[in-house]
Amino acid sequence: MDDEIKERDELTAVIIADSFTRSFWPITNDMPKVLMPMCNIPLIEYTIELVIRNHIKKIVLFCCSQAQKIVEYIQLQKYRQVSIQCICRPSCASLGDVVRELDSRKFLSNDFLIIYGDTVGNANLKEAIEHHRNLRKADKEYILTVVFSEVSFNSNLRTEEEQSIVVLEGPRILQFDGIMKKHKIDLNSNVKFKDLKEFEIRNDLVESGVLICSPEIMEYFSGEFDYHSLRDHLMRDLLTSEIYSVKCSAYVLPKHSYLHRVQVPKTYDAVSVDMMNRWLYPICLDANLFPPSTPSTYTSSRNNLYKETGVQVSRTAKIESPVVIGAKTIIHDEAIISMSSIGRNCIIGNGCRISGSYIWNDVIIGKNCQITHALICNKVTIGDNCIINPGSIISTSVKLKDSLIIEECSRISLYKYNQADEIYQLCNEDSELGKGYLYDTQLENLLHGVNKQLLRKQSIGAVVINICCAEAEDSPLSDSSPSDSENEKIADTNKFMSKEKFIDEVKNLVAEMVERDETVESIQIEVNSIKFSQNKDFMECISGILAGLIESSGPKLSLHFEKWTELLGKYACSDLEKKHMLKELERLMTGRPEQGQFHLVVKEIYSADVIDGDCILSWNEECTSDVFRGLMKQFVEWLEEDEEEDEEDD
């Protein structure tokens, strides 16, 4: 036991505070990526919290681009549970460069973790670390364990670049190849496949951002200066060579664990929404865990609306959860905010419509603006009547004139390319946009290979392409072309459940677990597992849960819902989902013996704050059933009277 504690204490986490890409450029020209706020908290704080929660006491923070800003930020914090040593090497441009630098310093003599500084999650890595150590005890040839998360093909948590094939024999990785723009993968015809009776091929695994390494791995990077990436360089050579005898293993996180990287704007959006919807519990915004020097001050309502102190929201403004609003922000009349994060000290003008977007600190947005699936950085000013289309990024301190229409996937900053010096330079002169210049995609494609199509695929709100379901004449895993029947089999295995089948699966699952009197949290984990694997939405989950609760109830349906309404509250977050719940409840109870208890069930849901009076009144206006309107008449009249009294009090 003492040896185990000693080993754990000696474990070091190397956090790489750079992703070595231009996916967030031009934001990262002013700010290191790891200091970008996600729900108003710097990204690096989530990574450090992951390390602290796994009881690792030592962090080596490796800083490359804009290293001094990262060091200054860390020095301002007061981390009591972990010691942080900063290493600054601006010249490092890849994972390989970082590992070679670590090897030259010779201070990592035990197993260590490599974690990217954009990794966010609640995963318990104890089992993964024990998995690696047990393999090492049995076979010293194991020098690396890659920690994977299971992610469905069309999940917003994966990018097209992360589509890959992992071939496994037990925990051992035999092959690890990217399949972007490929419809055929050749299995390595080398010694590692000789005499194998069976192996497993998986394309649902994504690197989580965590690697568990033994010191020997550094020798391989140092011996080959051409090695820059893990998958495409080091592992490709180690796994295809007949010379090397070393082995790499895979550890797949349990489905209830959450661990993902924020690599591009698309995954920034996906992880932010998951954070707002509490999928990273117990790491929640209203826990106010970080940053240590100035912790956040969030309080939350049941519908995942998070507000800090000093927020002012007009009574005529409409907030459709999940939404985050930072301290001292003012939202004016008739504004509508939905599924967005608003920073601190912001002003949102009259009649603005903000949906699926991320507004950082000190932003001023004029009247009647429409912002959809966009990222607006610190100190930006947007004039009246502007339209910011999906995928756009407005970088720090840009000022836009009135009545502008910004095209989708546009990027605007204060930096202008100087043809003579061949660099981007800060330019504060006025432009046709106000103060700011449009990102030249043709120039970026020429200089860095970043084209408009790639920006669109990586943008907020983009849909990932399932490579494995793409039309192709070749099988993904064979040299020969399959027959028509084989093609049908390949397509069938990659299709998601139909809506009806998914709802039926959730219904049966909920009914069984309710009858066993499982906890709400246990049921939620199982429902989420099916939801993510089948790429379904909350409304489809609500339909299945309602059907399961009704299926498992006795004659006293209202008492049954009194106990289990909390489960519905986990999924009915937006006004649309709440109204769907009432309509679905009406549909499911029509013609059942318990139909007469409809109003009692609705009262239970209302009493638990899962729905509000406005939602019930809105449903009542659209309801065409005289039976259900009659059952609800007295309750609706009471709600209307209560609403009138509130208006008189105001």
Q: Per residue in 528-585, pLDDT tens? A: 878 876 778 888 899 999 998 888 887 778 788 888 888 888 888 777 888 888 998 9
pTM over 0.95: no
The span from the CA of 252 to the CA of 145, in Å, is: 10
Q: Which of 184-188, 395-399, 511-515 has the lowest mean pLDDT?
A: 184-188
- pLDDT band at residue 197 using 50, 70 and 90 as cut-offs: confident
Give the pLDDT confidence score for residue 130 in this predicted structure.
Answer: 94
Supply the pLDDT for residue 518: 84
Domain residue spans in the chain?
Answer: 2-261, 295-440, 499-649
* Residue 116 · residue 19 · CB < 8 Å: yes
d(CA 134, CA 139): 9
Domain 499-649 in CATH 1.10.10.60? The answer is no
**What is the mean pLDDT of the segment spanning 261-270?**
94
3-state secondary structure 223-291: HCCCCCCHHHHHHHHHHHCCCCCCEEEEEECCCCCCEEECCCHHHHHHHHHHHHCCCCCCCCHHHCCCC
Is pLDDT at 636 greater than 70 in this prediction? yes
pLDDT for the residue numbered 1 = 43
| Pair 153, 494: CB distance under 8 Å | yes
CA distance from start to end of the chain: 65
Higher pLDDT, 36 or 441: 36
Q: How confident is the model at residue 426 (pLDDT cuts 50, 70, 90)?
A: confident
Which of 3-17, 261-275, 377-391 has the weakest average pLDDT? 3-17
2-261 matches 499-649 in fold: no
Percent of the chain with pLDDT over 70: 87
Q: CA-CA distance, 290 to 41, in Å (whole number)?
A: 7
Q: Does the structure show a pLDDT above 80 at 15?
A: yes
Q: What are phi and psi of 486, to 5 degrees?
A: -70, -40
Instruction: Residue 149: name the closest of 533, 562, 563, 582 by CA.
Output: 533
Q: Are 184 and 475 in contact (CB under 8 A)?
A: yes
Q: What's the pLDDT score for residue 311?
A: 96
Which CATH code fits 2-261?
3.90.550.10
Give the pLDDT confidence of 364-373 residue by residue, as tens digits.
999 999 999 9
DSSP 65: T
Architecture of domain 295-440: 3 Solenoid (2.160)
Percent pLDDT > 90 in the chain is: 41
